[in-house]
Structures are given as structure tokens and as C-alpha cells.
Amino acid sequence: MEKFDYFNLFFLIILFLFLFIPIIYMLISPGNITNAINNTFIESFKNTILAGIVSTLLALFFCVPAGYFLARNNFKFKNFIEGIIDLPMAIPHSVIGIIILSSIYGISFLSFTQNYIIDNFWGIVVVYLFVGIPYMLSNVKDGFLSVDENLEHVSRTLGASKIKTFFEISLPLIKPNLISGIILCFARGISEVGAILIVAYYPKTVPVLILEEFTSFGIDYSKPIAVIMILFSMILFIILRKFGQVKKSN
């Protein structure tokens, strides 16, 4: 290995240790996890996972056709539209909450949703969907861009309809992208806390519960719950890396 490689390796080690040491410390010193798994945690965990599943399915339903359209068409304002859709990735979390809340109160035709969104399970879903769409759409669009359009043209010349070609040729070929998009969208949603505090403090999600426990009782009460979420996030990460390797091999 050359000196230049050792130089770069040094920075890699620093970055790795910066992330690894705090995470591994949490895992080897989790606190009293048994006491943390109570009815409040179980209910919060159910809310978090169920809202994550619902929002991810909604994102998948809308992003598959939208991603295909963006991948196959060039049109005026396309860059602007893609920029707006990607914007939630850059907006601070609390600002997202203000955006959603002010829209519900300020836009007249959305006023009927107040009772269904504010401090409601569907409010959690809306927030998760708002922050997760960019990740889902980006993966889906990149998947369709990687599909050779000639394959679709051949299918059409053999008599298949555009819809049949889409479902039998294009969609199966982007399976790794769909899986990556699903995992990233789900993971981004369940990690949200700032916007949830503003839009739907109740029913509680796990990140909100962790913040509440820390604020009320300190780190000893919040750390065990945080460790559980670290382990859950690690499982998602392992799945993502696995399917990411499948995607590269394809």
C-alpha cells in the first residue's frame, strides 16, 4: 500500500470511529431494557411501525407511476418539479411540521382534515409521507432510467400493450430499486420527530417517547428505548445493504 493510500485510510478510520464508538457504547451499555418495554413503549412502537407501513405503501402507490413518467419524459419545468419533490430532504424537521400545520389551517379546502390529522394517527402518516416521498421517488426513477427502453419497444412490437409491458417487463427489472426505496422511505419516516411534535404529538411514536422520557427523567430512562431503536435500525440497514449488493450485481 502506498503512502497516499495510508493517508486516505487515516481519514476513513477517523470517520469510522466517530460513528462506531458512540453506537457500540450504547449497545454494550443499554441500561434497563426490560423496564423500558412497557405498555407505553409497545403502543408507541405499534404507532410508529403501522404509520411507517401505511405511509410507505402510499408512497409506493404514487411514486411508481410518477417515477416512470419522470424517467421516460422530458418536459418544461421538469427540473423544477424534481427539485420541489426533493426539497423535504433539505428542510429542517420542525419547518416541515410548520408547513403541514399551516397548510391545514390556512388552505380552506384542507380545513376539513384538521380532526383527522392534528394529534391523530393519520397526522403521523402524513408527516412520514411528506419526508419519505423523495427517497422513494428517487429510487424508483433511477430504476426505470436503468431499464433499457429497447426492451420495452421490443415488447410493444410483439403485441404487448403499454400497461402489460410496464408490469411484465419494466417493473420486475427495478425490483432492487423498489426494495431500496421502500426501506429508505420507511426508515426516514419512523426516524422523524421534529415535525411529529408539531403536527401529531399524540398518539406517541417511539422517537417522541424517547424525547419525552429524556426531558422528564433524563438519559437513564431514554437510553434503553434508544438502544431498541438502534437495533431495529441496524436490521433495516443490513437489509438495505443486502439488497443494495443485489442491485449492483444486476
Question: Which residue matches cell numbers 426492451?
Answer: 151
Give the C-alpha separation, 116 to 221, whole Å.
Answer: 32
Q: What is the pLDDT of residue 160?
A: 86
Over residues 136-154, the mean pLDDT reads 93
Q: What is the pLDDT of residue 158?
A: 87
Q: What is the pLDDT of residue 243?
A: 64
Domains and CATH numbers, the chain: 43-249 (1.10.3720.10)
Q: What is the pLDDT of residue 129?
A: 97
- Higher-pLDDT residue of 19, 240: 19
Over residues 44-53, the mean pLDDT reads 96
CA–CA distance from 143 to each of 21, 111, 128, 177 (Å)? 35, 37, 23, 6
Residue 240: pLDDT over 80: no
Over residues 188-193, the mean pLDDT reads 94
The answer to whether residues 143 and 176 touch, using CB atoms and an 8 Å cutoff, is: yes
Residue 19: pLDDT over 60: yes
Give the C-alpha separation, 128 to 196, whole Å.
Answer: 9
Residue 3: pLDDT over 90: no
Give the C-alpha separation, 55 to 49, whole Å.
Answer: 10
Residue 157: pLDDT over 90: no
Give the C-alpha separation, 60 to 185, whole Å.
Answer: 9
- Helix 175-190, helix 219-249: angle, nearest 10: 170
pTM (predicted TM-score): 0.89
Burial class (CB in 10 A: 0-12, 13-18, 19+), 178: buried
pLDDT band at residue 54 using 50, 70 and 90 as cut-offs: very high
Give the C-alpha separation, 170 to 167, whole Å.
Answer: 6
- Give tens-digit pLDDT for 199-238: 999 999 999 999 999 999 999 999 999 999 999 988 887 8
Burial class (CB in 10 A: 0-12, 13-18, 19+), 31: middle
